[in-house]
Amino acid sequence: YPYQQSYAQRALKQTNSTAKLLLETMERKKSNLAVSVDVTKTKDFLAIIDVVGPFVCLIKTHIDILEDFKHDLIQHLQDLSVKHDFLIFEDRKFADIGNTVALQYSSGVHKIASWSHITNAHPVPGPSIIAGLSSVGLPLGRGLLLLAEMSTKGSLATGSYTENAVRMARAHRDFVIGFIAQRRMDGVGATAEDAVEDEDFLILTPGVGLDTKGDAMGQQYRTPKEVVLDSGCDVIIVGRGIYGNDPTLIDAIAASAKRYMAEGWAAYLERLSS
Ligand code: S5P
């Protein structure tokens, strides 16, 4: 299967330039770690990104969480992305009609498409959401992930919903590079006519923690080994497992990023040799 090949080999076959760049970055930095920087102050946000930057392939943002957002923050974020060699993923979870999501993606306060290499969407509106987002993102060379599954207890994104999400992605391979999911999706929901032998969707997986099994609001954690080795996922997304409840403990944050990077990469090497 394609996912048992190295990230470098898989990069060669990607048609979307962002998917290719992410896989190349993972190989170059020997990291399949994405850090989700869910903090409310710009100062903490940039300090965390600067300190975890060397250990990640990707930084995931919720830009609307920042209470002191000013547009010059974007330039700082982009500078850090160049300094540390990582991509940016705004976790916007679009979920509206095509026309609305195109406006939300291109415009408003945050102008996400202008700086975020990757964003994501819920498949719930159907293929029109991809049409809307790709009208903005494709000319800029961006990539989209669909939320095929979620990490939370009681998630409704299961069964035929997940299968239909994969079918939607399969029909838009120029822009949809993969999924937010808990396992591999290659071949899911395919019929005999679909040529899926070489299918290679990127799987980015949140709900990753080494020290706890969940939080008080339905989040569920698995270890990097369970995610990358047992479930075949490509990128581990870690938030509070790295920065805890105190975004100012910068040395501890650097040490945990290093730890998750090492665990994620070891699980990947074990997958390659199994
Ligand atoms: O199913 C999901 C999808 C996402 S994108 N479950 C998630 O937790 N996420 C996001 O990943 C969530 O919005 C948060 O930003 C991050 C997980 O954070 P943590 O602190 O629980 O690691």
Tens digits of residue pLDDT in 100-131: 999 999 999 999 999 999 999 999 999 999 99
Q: Give the HSE-up count for residue 247: Cα atoms under 13 Å, Cβ half-sphere.
A: 17
13 is catalytic: no
Q: How far is the CA of 79 from the centre of ligand 1 (A)?
A: 25
Span 149-185, pLDDT tens digits:
999 999 999 999 999 999 999 999 999 999 999 999 9
Query: Nearest residue CA, atom 9 of ligand 1?
Result: 206
Q: Which residues line ligand 1 (CB under 6 A)?
A: 36, 38, 62, 91, 150-151, 180, 206-207, 219, 237-241
Going by C-beta distance under 8 Å and a sequence separation of 6 or more, which residues neighbour residue 49?
35, 37, 59, 77, 80, 84
Residue with CA nearest ligand 1 atom 22: 239
To the query of whether residue 96 is one of the catalytic residues in this protein, the response is yes
What pTM value is reported for the model?
Answer: 0.98
Q: Is the pLDDT of residue 235 over 90?
A: yes
ipTM of the complex: 0.99
Is pLDDT of 7 > 90?
Answer: yes
Asked about 43 being catalytic, the answer comes back as no
Q: Say yes or no to pLDDT of 2 above 90.
A: no
